[in-house]
Structure 1
Amino acid sequence: MAYTSERPPLAESSEQLRARIPGWGADLDPKNRPSVPKLQWQEDRSGAHWDFPERQPEKWPRERSIEHAFLTPVFGTSCPPKGISGAIRKFSYRKYSEGRAAHWLLLLAADRVDAWEHHLRSFATTRPDNPITETGVLSEFSRHGFSSRIGKKRADVKHQALDPLLVAGPWVLVAGAVFSAVRGVARGFRRRSPGNSAG
């Protein structure tokens, strides 16, 4: 069982593994391993002072991989999942194995959603996010942005054409949506105003 101090049993014997996998067990002979003294099995098991580690208290339902029977004894608590991004993360852990691409793609999507949740939350404060200064786009004009890309073997040159779309695109879309919403509300007020009523 995972998380115990006992050595886990092999699913197959050494002979079965050696017959099935060419080269398996090449380091079984202690002469082939310079670190053998450190790896020798102790009679008092692994040297751990516990049979099962003390479990960290779970203050809220934590996400865990479906490969695990239960939550690991120790886990992080600095960023509890919340909002839409938290729901996406919980769904990813509940539905897909860590060996599936869908699991990691959902977690990447949750990170993007989380970033936008924070952007939108910032507009309710006295210091909202500023995409012009915080994305570093001004340094492109003051720090030799163009000349640093010509004749250099930079890896990021290949995706440069997409950068404006990926960085500025979402901000432009949100600004367009806000503009359309404000214009729609303004038109609605104009239609309802007394001066525009039919006589």
Structure 2
Amino acid sequence: MPYTADGPERRESSEKLRARIPGWGADLDPKDRPSVPRERFDPGATGAHWDFPERQPEKWPRERSIEHKFLTPVFGTSTPPRGLSGAMRKFAYRRYSEARAAHWLILLASDRVDAIESHLRSLASMHPDNPVTETGILSELTRHGYSSRFGTKRADVKHHWMDPILVAGPWLAVGALAYIAVTSRARRE
């Protein structure tokens, strides 16, 4: 079991495995195995003074993979799950194994939803994000942006044409929707 000082349990003896599986045990001779010194079970050599590490307290129910019995003793707490993105993350961990593509695709989508939620929160707080300074567009003009991109063999040059669309597109769409809403309200009055 991980996170304990106990060694793994042997389920079958070497003789039974060798009889059942042809060629089993070909690497049992320590001279044939370069990793033998690392595999030696010696808890005293590590300097660990615990049998099981002290567990970090959970401030909220954490997401954990369905493959694991419990959370690791230490885990990240930088981004507590909240809103729709948090519900999507919880669903991905509760429903799908980490070996499934659906698990990771839902997590990727929840990151995008979290970015949108953050932008909406910044707009609602009356301190909206500043896309001009936060995207680094000013540094493109003052820090050799053009010369660092062209004339070199950078791999990301092929998608530079779509970067302004991805960065400025949502802001322009929100501005257009706000303009349409204001003008339609002004016409009604």
Q: Same fold (TM over 0.5)?
A: yes
Once the 2 structures are TM-superposed, how far is the Cα of residue 38 of structure 1 from its aligned partner?
A: 4.7
CA distances 1:64-114 after superposition (whole Å, capped 9, x unpaired) = 001112222322222211111111111111111111222122212222222
Contact 1:3 1:52 in 2 (8 A): yes
Aligned partner of 1:98 in structure 2 is 98
Q: Does 1:131 align with 2:93?
A: no
Aligned partner of 1:75 in structure 2 is 75
Q: Pairwise mapping of residues 14-163 of structure 1 onto structure 2 (< 5 A)?
A: 15=18, 19=23, 26=27, 28-32=28-32, 36-42=36-42, 48-125=48-125, 127-163=127-163
CA distances 1:9-48 after superposition (whole Å, capped 9, x unpaired) = 467766467748xxx865x443355664453223879875
Q: Could you say which structure has the higher helix fraction?
A: 2
For 2:145 and 2:6, how far apart are their aligned partners in 1?
57
Structure 1 unaligned runs (5+)?
Answer: 191-199
SS of 2:73's equivalent?
coil
After superposition, the Cα gap between the structure-2 partners of 1:29 and 1:81, relative to the gap in structure 1 and judged at 3 Å, is same
Letter in 1 for 2:150: I
Letter in 2 for 1:110: S
After superposition, the Cα gap between the structure-2 partners of 1:25 and 1:136, relative to the gap in structure 1 and judged at 3 Å, is farther
Identical columns (%): 64
Aligned partner of 1:185 in structure 2 is 185
When Rg is computed on C-alpha atoms for both structures, the one with the higher figure is 1
For 1:41 and 1:151, how far apart are their aligned partners in 2?
55
Once the 2 structures are TM-superposed, how far is the Cα of residue 130 of structure 1 from its aligned partner?
A: 0.6
For 2:22 and 2:168, how far apart are their aligned partners in 1?
56
CA distances 1:141-194 after superposition (whole Å, capped 9, x unpaired) = 333333333321001112212212222222222222222222333333x1xxxx
TM-score normalized by structure 2? 0.78
Structure 2 unaligned runs (5+)?
Answer: none
For 1:77 and 1:128, how far apart are their aligned partners in 2?
25
For 1:126 and 1:30, how far apart are their aligned partners in 2?
67
Contact 1:85 1:113 in 2 (8 A): yes
SS of 2:147's equivalent?
coil
Which deviates more from structure 2 when the two are superposed, residues 38-47 or residues 102-111? 38-47
After superposition, the Cα gap between the structure-2 partners of 1:148 and 1:55, relative to the gap in structure 1 and judged at 3 Å, is closer
For 1:17 and 1:87, how far apart are their aligned partners in 2?
47
After superposition, the Cα gap between the structure-2 partners of 1:149 and 1:76, relative to the gap in structure 1 and judged at 3 Å, is closer
Aligned partner of 2:176 in structure 1 is 176
TM-score normalized by structure 1? 0.74
Which deviates more from structure 2 when the two are superposed, residues 70-79 or residues 36-45? 36-45
Contact 2:7 2:41 in 1 (8 A): no
Aligned partner of 1:196 in structure 2 is none
For 1:186 and 1:11, how far apart are their aligned partners in 2?
78
Contact 1:88 1:107 in 2 (8 A): yes
Letter in 2 for 1:168: A
